[in-house]
């Protein structure tokens, strides 16, 4: 006779409207639900819509109450930036390996105020708006996002200018700050790894510029001169 194992938890992969509703139904039935979503917030494509077919109702008017209910339900644990890496076991007794990608923001400390995005010097195409607008490198998926926390978008690996720098100075960081007119902040970033920025801004052989990807388009960014400028300004 086959052994009966208790079933007390369910994993739902995909935090769109279908996944949210399934999680709510399962949680109301007494199951512990793990809702795994690849992006930084649940909601899927529905927040990007204006109206829903065939009734023409407001998409966010339908979704928002479910987002709130899902976020508050004690039987639902939301795992964002998660990807399933493996499944083992059998029906009724599965084990799932989930890899959680870094958010680079502490969920326990972020209150969603948005002050970080206001001072972030890096602008990127806004994927939520299908690239029609811009957002900061630290961003919230959309205003009603659950969880209500920000995420830092980072490219894979390390910028080539930083890799080429013998001191490992965060060149792309202080260049972006100079571009925003935040010269003192740029100077502080330089000083984190370079104790003599005024000297390096004048006599450094600037291997960072040789590695700069902008050189594939026209000319490399004048990284050394910007270092000198920030230092002289301070």
The whole-chain average pLDDT of the chain stands at: 91
In a domain, residue 153? The reply is no
pTM: 0.73
Which of 80, 100, 120 delimits the end of a domain? 100
In a domain, residue 14? The reply is yes
Tell whether the model's pLDDT for residue 6 goes beyond 70.
Answer: no
Please tell me the total count of domains within the chain. 2
- Give the whole-angstrom CA distance, residue 22 versus residue 12: 8
Taking only the tens place, the pLDDT of each residue in 115-169 is: 999 988 888 889 899 889 999 999 999 999 999 999 998 866 678 899 999 999 9
In a domain, residue 196? The reply is yes
| Residue 180: domain span | 160-233
- Give the whole-angstrom CA distance, residue 203 versus residue 28: 68
3-state DSSP percent of the chain in helix, strand and coil, to 5: 35, 20, 45
State both tokens at 124.
């990127």
In a domain, residue 144? The reply is no
In a domain, residue 123? The reply is no
Query: Between helices 171-179 and 223-233, what is the axis angle to 10°?
Result: 60
Query: What's the CATH number where 72 sits?
Result: 3.50.50.60
């Amino acid at each position: 006779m086959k052994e009966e194992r208790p079933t007390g938890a369910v994993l739902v992969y995909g935090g769109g409207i279908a996944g949210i509703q399934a999680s709510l139904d399962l949680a109301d039935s007494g199951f512990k639900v793990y809702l795994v979503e690849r992006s930084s917030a649940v909601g899927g494509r529905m927040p990007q819509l204006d109206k829903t077919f065939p009734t023409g109702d407001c998409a966010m008017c339908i979704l928002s109450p479910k987002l709130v209910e899902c976020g508050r339900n004690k039987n639902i644990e939301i795992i964002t930036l998660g990807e399933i890496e493996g499944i083992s076991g059998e029906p009724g007794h599965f084990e799932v390996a989930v890899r959680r990608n870094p958010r680079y923001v502490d969920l326990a400390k972020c209150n969603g105020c948005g002050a970080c995005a206001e001072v972030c010097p890096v602008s990127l195409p806004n994927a939520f708006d299908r690239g029609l607008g811009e957002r900061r490198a630290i961003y919230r998926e959309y205003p009603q996002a659950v969880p209500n926390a920000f995420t830092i978008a980072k490219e894979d690996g390390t910028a080539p200018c930083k890799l080429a720098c013998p001191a490992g100075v965060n060149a792309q960081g202080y260049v972006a700050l100079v571009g925003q007119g935040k010269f003192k902040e740029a100077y502080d970033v330089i000083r984190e790894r370079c104790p003599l920025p005024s000297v390096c801004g004048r006599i450094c052989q600037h291997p960072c510029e040789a590695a700069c990807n902008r050189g594939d388009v026209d000319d490399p960014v004048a990284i050394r001169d910007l270092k000198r400028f920030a230092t002289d300004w301070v």
